[in-house]
Chain A
Amino acid sequence: QKEVEQDPGPLSVPEGAIVSLNCTYSNSAFQYFMWYRQYSRKGPELLMYTYSSGNKEDGRFTAQVDKSSKYISLFIRDSQPSDSATYLCAMSVTGANSKLTFGKGITLSVRP
């Protein structure tokens, strides 16, 4: 089993839809959970960052962590064509020398 599994996609939704992107993981020691967004032919950029469990909201984006189920989600409300990108989950244990483990990414397309 891979340490981090992410739905392979691709995912296509109409504009205005609520999008749910998910990752599961196997390492119960993971404490930092991130979502990176990557536009076509660009580098990833940090979108959401959560430490330990709970929810975090930023505008139309909500990151949710369920450590008991080893499951994280990113919700996008009122999705826009500008949200079309690849979304990568990433996570690590605590400590400055803890490397990030990335999911493979899911490509989202929001149709106007």
Chain B
Amino acid sequence: DAGITQSPRYKITETGRQVTLMCHQTWSHSYMFWYRQDLGHGLRLIYYSAAADITDKGEVPDGYVVSRSKTENFPLTLESATRSQTSVYFCASSAKGLGGSGELFFGEGSRLTVL
């Protein structure tokens, strides 16, 4: 099915472990994003990518790593998970830019708990 899919949808891990959240889109959108959503903070941009092999930091990038070797995939890695990274993570894509000039299409989210 066309769209944007995230996996896993739910993940429980322990402090210090490495975790990778996967994101795959079938529209061939140039732009992809990772957001985290926390109560009291709303949606905050972690990293974004304008094309394959082009990534840039967002508002809260510390502790996260991204890569984009293929247009359709944009994995987010927590190299050493901390409790403060407990959150719901959303991947999004856009055909036209970082969001202002075009619609963002969001995945259903990955709910991560770090114990």
Contacts and interface: CB of A to CB of B under 8 A. Distances in A.
A99 B106 contact: no
A100 B90 CA distance: 14
A98 B43 contact: no
B110 to A, nearest CB: 10
Interface in A49-78: 49
Interface in A6-27: 6
Given A44-B43, A99-B48, A92 B107 contact: no
A97 to B, nearest CB: 6
Nearest to B58: A99
B98 A100 contact: yes
Nearest to B91: A43
B100 A32 contact: yes
Interface residues of B, number: 24
A97 B104 CA distance: 13
Contact of B106 (A45, A92, A105): A45
A94 B42 contact: no
A96 B96 contact: yes
Contact of B99 (A41, A92, A104): A92
B108 A103 contact: no
Interface in A72-108: 88, 90-100, 102-105
B108 A41 contact: yes
B103 interface: yes
A46 B98 CA distance: 14
Contacts of A93: 100
Interface string B39-77: 011111100101000000010000000000000000000
B32 interface: no
Interface of A: 6, 31-32, 36, 41-46, 49, 88, 90-100, 102-105
Given A92-B98, A97-B50, 13 more contacts: A43-B109, A45-B105, A88-B42, A92-B100, A93-B100, A96-B97, A98-B100, A100-B98, A100-B100, A102-B43, A102-B44, A103-B42, A105-B42
